[in-house]
Structure 1
Amino acid sequence: MKRTNTPRGGPGSGLLPFLAISFAGAWITMIPLWLDGLRRTDAAQGTPPLAALCMILMMLVPALTAFGLTARRRGPREAVRVLGLSRATPWPREVRSVAIALSIPLGLTAVGLTVSTAAGWYTPAHLPGPGAVAPLVLSALVSVPLYFGEELGWQGYMLPRLLPLGRIRGLMVGGAVWGAWHVPMTALGGSYPGHPALLGILVAVVTATLLGTVIAAVRLSTGSVWAAVAAHVSLNEFALPLTRHVSGALVDPLLAGPLSIATWPASALAVTGVWLAHRRRAARHSPPAVSTATAPTPPA
């Protein structure tokens, strides 16, 4: 049986403090960049050391908040279990879940790049070789703690508190919250350099709602946050850089890549698949309806 821990104290218990601290922490960690006047205005612009440090601190905020709030109520050892840190399924199944989670963002990105190419927004030039993939694997392994920092908060703490809204509604609300949490960075041109901040924020929230729903569904299907971490790693450490590497020209992230509007149709289909799977599961486990025409007459 998949394990999804229900928070004590009623549905949504502890959600508001978590969101307040996580959002405040995101803005506080980005203050040095706002004071420095840093803004990403071009897709070719790299990430300065100060920006990298601020993003690392920002990504750790949700995990520290989730663990602190949970440990305060239930103790550190119980917090490890409640937040999904412990393995919920046998190792072979866990490894298989992680492998599937790694492939999902790459598959969605491939479909999106096909749309971008057909629209004339993207020009594929060559396939990535081992020399291009090896550094990405190393970077992904080093960066796992950072993505774990996010997913422990979103999928380990927030998601169980949103499920009382309804499974699909809770997943999509969680994705929207994830996108809104990125606003301090998105407004500086983080994901969509060279575009108006308001447009970037709008696209980021829609993209996060779709992709966040898929990642949350992965977490629910395994009962562990590790598969969700793998999906997030695949998105940022493989799908994004490979999009740039395969192209023969500078890529506009708004029009091509995993975070682009071209990937929305594929992501929307994936969300629809999650919804249909949930409906089938709910129908399979619901008690059969009793027809009034064939129901036995109670004795007088």
Structure 2
Amino acid sequence: MKRTNVADRPGPGLVPFLAISFAGAWVTMIPLWADGLRRTSAAQGTPPLAALCMILMMLVPALTAFGLTARHRGPRGAVRVLGLTRATPWRHEVRSVATALTIPLGLTAVGLTVSTLAGWYAPAHLPGPGTIAPLVLSALVSVPLYFGEELGWQGYLLPRLLPLGRMRGLLAGGAIWGAWHVPMTALGGSYPGHPALLGIPVAVVTAMLLGTVIAAVRLSTGSVWAAVAAHLSLNEFALPLTGHVSGPLVDPLLAGPLSVATWPASALAVVGVWLAHRRRDGRRAAGGKAGAGLPGGAGRTSS
């Protein structure tokens, strides 16, 4: 059964989407560059100006995707094409969202184990209800922001990359996602205290791996909402919980969902995605060969 809402053929608008999305990312970060703001420590908070700029940046892909799609198909057509409508029964949708929420947490847990064994991380205690409740509230409030990103990446960009081949398209989408974050990463957004020449390539590789997993969630459910849940879980739960359960200050480069310690787990997840798609393609090919040998097919040929 086909579960995706992606088009069979790549649609127009890839170059305009990338151009507007990347330009919009830089434009929204101009106030921070002009102000000279740079995150130099993981203990440094997020100033109101930085929070506003990041909010605007996260909305750019969605507005771009919806505008380009609605221009050719109208608002209703854009809603359908971008995967906003439910593609599967609601029970399956709920299960998919619940599963998507656990994936970044699982990858982070494996990565933190690697960091602990390497001496980069020191877990001190488990988070209690007083820690979880504010995170849940923040996640609920932030849903529109993550929806803003994933509507662009998974609803618009992904279908236009799949003609490259499924895995190539997924990996390319993740790399583009990481490159789009450069205006923020260069200011120490993901890896404070580290030079941009180190932080940017690490961020791109991390995004390529995690973005592939999120895109696979999108393809398996046929809806953008599960991808939104995975992205939200990454930023609103996996990242802050890494700090909450640790004693000393955590270096995001060495511990947490965006760290190099999580690369092995994320890479294994990507391999799992590749094997799953390869197995599915093999079954489809076998089914096609079996169908070709049915008596009904031979009868039609002889006629």
Bin the TM-score by the shorter chain. Answer: over 0.9
1:115-126 aligned within 5 A = 115-126=114-125
1:112-261 aligned within 5 A = 112-261=111-260
Distance in 2, Cα, partners of 1:225 & 1:5: 11
Distance in 1, Cα, partners of 2:154 & 2:50: 25
Contact 2:58–2:148 (Cα < 8 Å) also in 1: yes
Distance in 2, Cα, partners of 1:76 & 1:4: 16
Deviation at 1:12, TM superposition (A): 5.0
Secondary structure, aligned partner of 2:87: coil
Distance in 2, Cα, partners of 1:5 & 1:253: 35
Give me the TM-score of the superposition, normalised by structure 1: 0.95
CA RMSD of aligned residues (A): 1.5
Amino acid of the residue matched to residue 288 of structure 1?
A: K
Distance in 2, Cα, partners of 1:124 & 1:261: 18
Show the counterpart of 1:56.
55
Runs of 5+ unmatched residues, structure 1:
291-300
Distance in 1, Cα, partners of 2:19 & 2:158: 16
1:7-31 CA-to-partner distances (Å, cap 9, x unmatched) read 7xx5252100000000000000000
Show the counterpart of 1:70.
69
Matched, 1:18 2:33: no
Runs of 5+ unmatched residues, structure 2:
293-303
Amino acid of the residue matched to residue 154 of structure 1?
A: W
Distance in 1, Cα, partners of 2:83 & 2:59: 17
Contact 1:186–1:197 (Cα < 8 Å) also in 2: yes
Secondary structure, aligned partner of 2:240: helix
Show the counterpart of 1:86.
85
Show the counterpart of 2:7.
6
Show the counterpart of 1:295.
none
Structure having the higher helix fraction is 2
Show the counterpart of 1:297.
none
Deviation at 1:198, TM superposition (A): 1.1
Secondary structure, aligned partner of 2:189: coil
Distance in 1, Cα, partners of 2:146 & 2:89: 23
**How many correspondences in the alignment?**
290
Contact 2:5–2:87 (Cα < 8 Å) also in 1: no
Show the counterpart of 1:294.
none
Percent same amino acid among aligned pairs?
85
Distance in 1, Cα, partners of 2:289 & 2:270: 27
Amino acid of the residue matched to residue 88 of structure 2?
A: T
Distance in 2, Cα, partners of 1:5 & 1:179: 22
Secondary structure, aligned partner of 1:288: helix
Moved over 6 A (4+): none
Amino acid of the residue matched to residue 3 of structure 1?
A: T
Deviation at 1:3, TM superposition (A): 2.5
Amino acid of the residue matched to residue 143 of structure 1?
A: S
Deviation at 1:213, TM superposition (A): 0.1
Deviation at 1:180, TM superposition (A): 0.1
Contact 1:12–1:162 (Cα < 8 Å) also in 2: no
